[in-house]
Structure 1
């Protein structure tokens, strides 16, 4: 894979290998493999002919790890909050894909992975960051920015994938319009260029499986900018009823959310997130995503319907 020479591209399932089959040693370790983005990345690696026996998938979802083992992947249950377990998992792998974690301690978790990779002399590390992570105006990217800085300072060969807003993030927002026909948001007339997790997972698989990505940073957006009126129209198609976008202020949105039973802290967070979107944090940044996957990105209706 990538610059390290890569695993065998044989796709013989583990269950059908004969006793004389030479099983290749794992080369790629994937942190966050049990999440949605990780699932799509692994599926794309298989589609590109990567032998699952050369990949170790890690995560905390034991059920999903069991499914990946059936598919022929090596698996390990790893809690990123345990630096010792992280170091043990990294040992023996030539490449590491770090799909960013969630939670208040993710910078420390990411740094533990980077330190373990450096100690193990890993040849390449891939990190899924956030679009515009280098723009200090957007506090939402502070953890990604800190991780990127640690990665560059480590001296490891890296590839940074700055992922945009997921189309799937709009799935919870379908609930109210399903009943009211109104999609209220505090983003004003913002432009966004969301992309599906499938497309972003495929892009990660492409850079892992091909050469030419050493110390590269890719900014990944959907192919076109859309407005929230466009998003409401897509919701109309998905829901089979008319949906109207209604712009509101952040205070009004917070009042709406608390009025339906949401706690103040969560409502305040979501209202602040809308303000970040309104400031342009997720507007289109270029064609890196379409270029990497070799096709136009998934549209809103298809992305919402599939999700």
Structure 2
């Protein structure tokens, strides 16, 4: 483990959002030597170490190791994980922060995490509750759906010209990871964000017809949106060779989108950025 006498600890630093967060923090003047990047991707950690960052490969289920690492930093950026036991891991980080009297914890939650109609946000909601009850100064950033989530979905329309989804007439105020990472970096590097919760949405409620139109531009061929039922989508996914468990998960995501969880929740994101949020076409071609 390579840990500087640092101030900022970033959990989830080797993930897709974490990469942008580190870049955004450095762009706003934080020296890599004062940042410790935590993640599981050893290759990426090596690259970060070569770039001057402190690095740590810590199993977040190891509460003792987490506590030791947290205690050496004043500011904690907790990018929400994806493990099945992520809630326990989040709570371990928060407990360590409380015991170490850290200065500030920044948590990337999910938009509408306080709405118990959406099961997708249950872990976010419980993490927020643990954080607000801890007594540690916090900032909660409730991130919307990523535009980049649709990049993988380009594969089908590339060959069929059809974007099929069980989302009905839903709208999605998606935002790019870069925008969300920049907002986090702004909050970390400026004052006035203590014990504040931000709902971070894109400026526009995109329909799936809008998404298909953006895909048309990116793919340079006409793409149309074809709404299907959840059952039809599950059958199509399984017939394509996908296992039933993954197919069921993807169908449940579409049903959650159809229920409106990712519709626009306000202007916090563009207000923090001081500019409009990134559009679909630019987001679908992002690296």
Instruction: Note if 1:119 corresponds to 2:99.
Output: yes
Q: Tell me the residue number matched to 1:208.
A: 188
Report the Cα distance in structure 1 between the residues aligned to 2:120 and 2:245, rounded to whole angstroms: 16
The partner residue of 1:108 within 84, 88, 93 is 88
Find out whether 1:198 has 2:178 as its counterpart.
yes
Moved over 4 A (4+): none
Asked whether 1:261 is paired with 2:230, we answer no
Q: Is this contact kept in 1: 2:148–2:286, CA < 8 A?
A: no
Partner of residue 138 from structure 1, selected from 98, 118, 123: 118
Deviation for aligned residue 1:123 = 1.1
Could you say which residue in structure 1 is the equivalent of 2:148? 168
Pair 1:67-2:18 in alignment: no
Note the C-alpha offset of 1:158: 0.3
- Number of residue pairs the alignment of both structures matches: 284
Q: Which residue of 2 aligns with 1:154?
A: 134
- Using the size of structure 1 for normalisation, the TM-score is 0.91
Cα displacement string for residues 158-197 of structure 1 (whole angstroms, at most 9, x for unaligned residues): 0000000001111121111111101100011111100011
Q: Per-residue deviation at 1:198? A: 0.6
Instruction: Out of 273-282 and 53-62, give the one that drifted further.
Output: 53-62
For 1:55, the equivalent position in structure 2 comes to: 35
Q: In the alignment, which of 149, 162, 173 is matched to residue 182 of structure 1?
A: 162
Give distance in 1, aligned partners of 2:24 and 2:124.
24
String of CA shifts for 1:110-129, please: whole Å, max 9, x gaps. Answer: 00000111111111100000
Query: Of residues 58, 70, 95 in structure 1, which corresponds to 2:75?
Result: 95
User: 1: CA distance between counterparts of 2:171 and 2:38?
Assistant: 35
Q: Measure, in 1, the Cα distance between the counterparts of 2:226 and 2:122.
A: 30
Distance (whole Å) between structure 2 residues aligned to residue 140 and residue 243 of structure 1? 29
- Bigger CA drift: 88-97 or 108-117? 88-97
TM-score after normalising by structure 2:
0.97
| RMSD over aligned Cα atoms | 1.0
Distance 2:85 2:172 in 1: 28
1:17 alignment partner in structure 2:
none
Q: Tell me the CA shift for residue 244 of structure 1.
A: 0.6
Structure 1 equivalent of residue 220 of structure 2 = 240
Structure 1: gaps spanning 5 or more residues:
1-23
